Structure 1
Amino acid sequence: MFWLLAILAYLLGSLSFAILLSRLSGSPDPRASGSGNAGATNMLRLAGKKLAILTLAGDLCKGLLPVLIAQHYGLGHGQQAWVGLCAVLGHLFPLYFRFKGGKGVATAAGMLLGLYPPAAALAVAVWLLTFYLTRTSSLAALIATPLTLPLLAWQEPRALLPVSLLTLLIVWRHRGNLRDLLAGRERHF
């Protein structure tokens, strides 16, 4: 059951709501416009609040649903985390869109919400506070994601390895943003 759910999670994660919504609305492809990221923040820049919110909700749900399904089938917390990580990998490297996806923050938040809601709440609170203070989405993601690890490790130690890998993937996907932050040229809202 685990492998079937992992594959299904990857395939679900491969659905890029930013790309699909941009095609349906006639908005520019987020991979070729704005920041080049197929995610909610770039959709806000390119297509407005409504499509950004829909992108965020879709990306969040594709991280949450596989974890909830894994829970339903009685998989342990560690296996639930691996299934959730497969959904995030689908978002980062979508099969349907030539493996060029987003940065995984909203899908990771959905995964965390399914694994341990207080960790997701902490991540969202830190993201919102950082974004409010800096108006920089990438910095908010880079700060919020690693801060959830101690809380998650304390409550769900079997999920620590997949969530640590998730954190490394998110930091790696934000490496260009990190360079821009250090050089003082990162985009702000």
Structure 2
Amino acid sequence: MFWLLAVFAYLLGSLPFAILISRLAGGPDPRTFGSGNPGASNMLRGAGKRLAILTLLGDLTKGLIPVVLANLAGFKAEQQAWIGLAAVIGHMYPLYFHFRGGKGVATAAGVLLGVYPGAALISISSWLLVLLLTRTSSVAALIATPLCLPLMAWQLPKALMPLAILTALILWRHRQNMRDLWAGKERRF
């Protein structure tokens, strides 16, 4: 059952909500404008608030659903976190689009909401606060993502490994953003 849920999580995570929503709305492919990233931030820049919110909800939900199903199946927090990680990997490296996907922040937030809502709320709140202060989505993600790890280590130490891997992957996917930040060229809202 664990492996079935992990495969389901990866396949669900591979659904590119930004691309699907953009196509349904008759808009351009989000990989062709802005940062080229199929995520909510780029959708906000190029497709508007409504489509960005729908993308955010879709990406968040595809991280949350597998974790909730794993919880209902009786899996422990550590196993739920591994299944959630599969969803995030699906978002970052989607089977359906030649393994070129998004950065995984919203999907990771969905995973955190399922595994440990308290850490998710701290992470999401800090993301919003940093975004409001800096007007830079990547800075918000780079600060908010690792912020929940100490709390996870304290409350759910067995789930720390998959969530640390999740954090490392998100930081890795933001490496160009970090270069742009260092060079003063990062996009702002």
- How does the TM-score come out when normalised to structure 2? 0.99
Work out whether 1:96 is the aligned partner of 2:96: yes
What residue number does 1:31 align with? Answer: 31
What residue number does 1:116 align with? Answer: 116
- 1:132 positional shift: 0.7
CA distance in 2, matches of 1:12, 1:153: 27
- 1:186 positional shift: 0.3
CA distance in 2, matches of 1:72, 1:107: 19
What residue number does 2:162 align with? Answer: 162
Work out whether 1:129 is the aligned partner of 2:129: yes
What residue number does 1:68 align with? Answer: 68
CA distance in 2, matches of 1:155, 1:32: 42
What residue number does 1:53 align with? Answer: 53
- 1:177 positional shift: 0.3
CA distance in 2, matches of 1:32, 1:156: 40
- Deviations 1:133-159 (Å, cap 9, x if unpaired)? 100000000000001000111111111
- 1:130 positional shift: 0.5
CA distance in 1, matches of 2:136, 2:54: 20
Q: In the alignment, residue 42 of structure 1 is paired with which amino acid?
A: N
CA distance in 2, matches of 1:91, 1:76: 23
CA distance in 1, matches of 2:67, 2:127: 22
- 1:32 positional shift: 2.1
What residue number does 1:175 align with? Answer: 175
What residue number does 1:8 align with? Answer: 8
Q: SS in structure 2 opposite 1:31?
A: helix
Identity %: 69
Conserved? CA contact 1:27–1:46, under 8 Å:
no
Q: In the alignment, residue 144 of structure 2 is paired with which amino acid?
A: A
Q: In the alignment, residue 137 of structure 2 is paired with which amino acid?
A: S
Comparing 170-179 and 94-103, the one that deviates more: 94-103
What residue number does 1:83 align with? Answer: 83
- 1:33 positional shift: 1.4
Comparing 62-71 and 92-101, the one that deviates more: 92-101
- Deviations 1:90-112 (Å, cap 9, x if unpaired)? 00011111211110000000000
What residue number does 1:146 align with? Answer: 146
Q: In the alignment, residue 26 of structure 1 is paired with which amino acid?
A: G
